[in-house]
Amino acid sequence: MRSFLFIPGDSPKKLEKGLGSGADALLLDLEDSISPQNKAQARGVTLGFLKEAVPVKARPRIYVRINGLQTGLTDADLDAIVGGRPDGVMFPKAEGGQAVIHCDAKLTAREAIHGLPDGSLDIIAIATETAQAIFLAGTYAGSSKRLKGITWGAEDLSVELGAEANRDRDGHFLAPYQLARSLCLAGAAAAQVQAIDTVYIDFRNEAGLRRECEEARRDGFTGKMAIHPGQVAAINEVFTPTADQVKRAEAVIAEFAKNPGAGTVGIGGVMYDRPHLERAKQLLARAKAVQK
């Protein structure tokens, strides 16, 4: 999945529009975009949307961002939405692998209640929204088979740190958030799950969005979250391997196949070693996933 579009869970109009956005995944939000007094209404609207949208064959994957364990609202969220059979939940303010284990247990109980197979719902964890979470970013490996992705956030973290800003005047993340981003990337790699980049809040600045997408792809992220449907096309484009990249990856794989015992191979005057082979395989897997 390349693009993950946030949609407030209390807006039927925006939810319906999201289906045609081109996003690979929709993130129906019960957390930050919903005021406390509208939580119950949002759960009902979200459940109604799930019941209509999930059975449709040609649709994006659908996740629900629940409220974090610290809020006391997690159980009410899961009680409301698991019966709608979303593809999974986005788990905010996750504080390490133990928190994912806790979330897994809650999902398991509700899958049983609703007659769903064990493990039906996936988890995408937001791993950097609290100061404590920063220190636990390397603990997700082996926590749950449900865990399919790890992402990060700067807005809640900046509040917890008491910061005046999280970006500089040019829109680049400041040092504490660069650290959070790097730990998210490393944590996802350690857990062998997808690394997903955070949102770009200046949603009318396409040049800035594209720059941030390209930097994220360069560093190892394979997707990015969006806060506006207008961001989806650029995200999908940047995170889709180009024809030239695919051709180059296929050439690397083919050359190693001809020389199975080789540690390095030469193509067009350039030397490639075994890490390049693994990178080529990963790129082709992403390209094939886009074509499905």
- Euclidean distance between CA atoms 96 and 20, whole angstroms: 34
Specify whether 55 is located in the same domain as 93: yes
pLDDT in the model for residue 225? 98
Backbone angles phi, psi at 273, to 5 degrees: -115, -175
Specify whether 214 is located in the same domain as 279: no
Specify whether 232 is located in the same domain as 247: no
pLDDT in the model for residue 2? 96
For residue 49, pLDDT beyond 90:
yes
The CA-atom distances, in angstroms, between 269 and each of 40, 245, 253 are 63, 17, 16
- Euclidean distance between CA atoms 91 and 249, whole angstroms: 34
pLDDT in the model for residue 110? 98
- How many domains are contained in the chain? 2
Specify whether 157 is located in the same domain as 280: no
Are the beta carbons of 7 and 62 closer than 8 angstroms? no
pLDDT in tens, 81-116: 999 999 999 999 999 999 999 999 999 999 999 999
The CA-atom distances, in angstroms, between 146 and each of 101, 157, 259 are 9, 25, 37
Token pair of 181, please?
Answer: 């981003």
- Euclidean distance between CA atoms 95 and 129, whole angstroms: 9
Count of other CB atoms within 10 angstroms of residue 166: 19
pTM above 0.85, yes or no: yes
Specify whether 162 is located in the same domain as 255: no
The CA-atom distances, in angstroms, between 198 and each of 36, 112, 189 are 24, 33, 16
Token pair of 26, please?
Answer: 């929709």
Q: CA nearest 18: which of 34, 29, 33, 5?
A: 5
Are the beta carbons of 35 and 57 closer than 8 angstroms? no
Specify whether 124 is located in the same domain as 255: no
The SS3 of residue 62 is strand
Specify whether 96 is located in the same domain as 125: yes
Give percent of the chain above pLDDT 70: 100
pLDDT in tens, 184-240: 999 999 999 999 999 999 999 999 999 999 999 999 999 999 999 999 999 999 999
Specify whether 185 is located in the same domain as 256: no
Specify whether 58 is located in the same domain as 138: yes
pLDDT in tens, 260-270: 889 999 998 99
91: β partners? 125
Specify whether 142 is located in the same domain as 250: no
- Domain span holding position 264: 243-291
Q: What is the largest CA-CA distance in the chain?
A: 64
How open is the CA angle 23-187-165, to the nearest 5 degrees? Answer: 70
The mean pLDDT of 173-183, rounded to a whole number, is 97
Are the beta carbons of 183 and 167 closer than 8 angstroms? no
| CATH number for the domain harbouring residue 32 | 3.20.20.60
Are the beta carbons of 94 and 60 closer than 8 angstroms? no
Specify whether 153 is located in the same domain as 281: no
Count of other CB atoms within 10 angstroms of residue 78: 23
Region of 93 (left: φ > 0; alpha: ψ -120 to 50; beta: rest) is left
Specify whether 169 is located in the same domain as 281: no
